Amino acid sequence: MSSGAADVLVPVAVVLFGLVIGSFLNVVIARVPAGESIVRPPSSCPACGYEIKAYDNIPVLSWLILRGRCRNCGSSISVQYPLVEAGCAALWLAVYWRFGGLGWEFALSAVLLAALLALAVIDARVYRLPNPIVYTTFFVGLALVVAATAATGDWNRLRDSLICAVASFALFWAIAAVGGAAFGEDAMGFGDVKLAGVLGLYLGWLGPRYVVIGLFLGFLTGAVVGLAMRAGGKKKRRDPIPFGVFLAIGAFLGILVAEPLADLYLGRL
Ligand SMILES: [Zn+2]
């Protein structure tokens, strides 16, 4: 394959695979919070129970062709389905561009962002970060950072990854404890604390600067949006904030801008 053809075919493959994984994330989002199996039964229309055929299960395309309706009963199918599929493909394409191709950086970022997409949608809907997803993401990440370290031979990166995982977990645990003592309420859920540890593991392998900038941007967006919603009367003081959504946004932004930001900052010293 000439490099010209690869320049087109590889990103196209990244997008197609991202769409398929996005379709799987929809199953995870719909079933895991309810404690249902993600393997069986096959997907069916929630309104009429009609089993969704393979030709009606093509990411994004099927939803557009059926105009967001069930083929059998015509009841509407949430736009969340094509959005999650397209979103996963877009995230994968973004990190493919960011790292200039396929490699361990792409693999770690793609797996992390797919998991965070599912967790963010669930957190926004039910204010929970289900343990099965958080733990699975952690152990897959552990296997990936060990494999990536063995492949690259740079053992400092495994050390950084593990230290960042423990440090992020401890930092968020301390914030949750202090917040709880200060406000007499759950400032931050324990799901957020565990998720911070997972971010530290993945982003720590990319480099400690990714963890610092990713967690900081997560805090910043969460604080700004949370305060804006309270000021706008959309949220009361005691209403929960789905902080996992902002951790996910921070991680994505961190992956995109950590390196250029750090270079800019260090270049000025
Ligand atoms: Zn139906």
- Spatial distance between the Cα atoms of 95 and 60, rounded to a whole number of angstroms: 21
- Spatial distance between the Cα atoms of 154 and 53, rounded to a whole number of angstroms: 47
Q: Is 141 exposed, middle or buried (0-12, 13-18, 19+ CB in 10 A)?
A: buried
Q: Look up the pTM and report it.
A: 0.93
What digits encode the pLDDT tens for the residues 56-67? 989 999 999 999
**pLDDT above 90 for 265:** no
46 CA distance to ligand 1 middle (Å):
7
154 CA distance to ligand 1 middle (Å):
53
Nearest-CA neighbor of 64 among 90, 85, 38, 45? Answer: 85
Under DSSP, the state recorded for 32 is G
What digits encode the pLDDT tens for the residues 97-136? 999 999 999 999 999 999 999 999 999 999 999 999 999 9
State residue 209's pLDDT score: 95
State residue 174's pLDDT score: 92
Length, in residues, of the chain: 269
51 CA distance to ligand 1 middle (Å):
9
70 CA distance to ligand 1 middle (Å):
5
What digits encode the pLDDT tens for the residues 220-241? 998 888 888 878 776 666 677 8
76 CA distance to ligand 1 middle (Å):
8
What digits encode the pLDDT tens for the residues 18-32? 999 999 999 999 999
State residue 159's pLDDT score: 97
- Spatial distance between the Cα atoms of 250 and 225, rounded to a whole number of angstroms: 13
What digits encode the pLDDT tens for the residues 148-178? 999 999 999 999 999 999 999 999 999 888 8
246 CA distance to ligand 1 middle (Å):
34
Q: Which residue type is seen at 113?
A: L
On whether the CB atoms of residues 190 and 209 are closer than 8 A, the answer is no
79 CA distance to ligand 1 middle (Å):
15
What digits encode the pLDDT tens for the residues 60-96? 999 999 999 999 999 999 999 999 999 999 999 999 9
3-state secondary structure 214-246: HHHHHHHHHHHHHHHHHHCCCCCCCCCCCHHHH
71 CA distance to ligand 1 middle (Å):
7
**pLDDT above 60 for 13:** yes
Tokens of 125: 């809907």
33 CA distance to ligand 1 middle (Å):
22
77 CA distance to ligand 1 middle (Å):
9
State residue 63's pLDDT score: 94
52 CA distance to ligand 1 middle (Å):
9
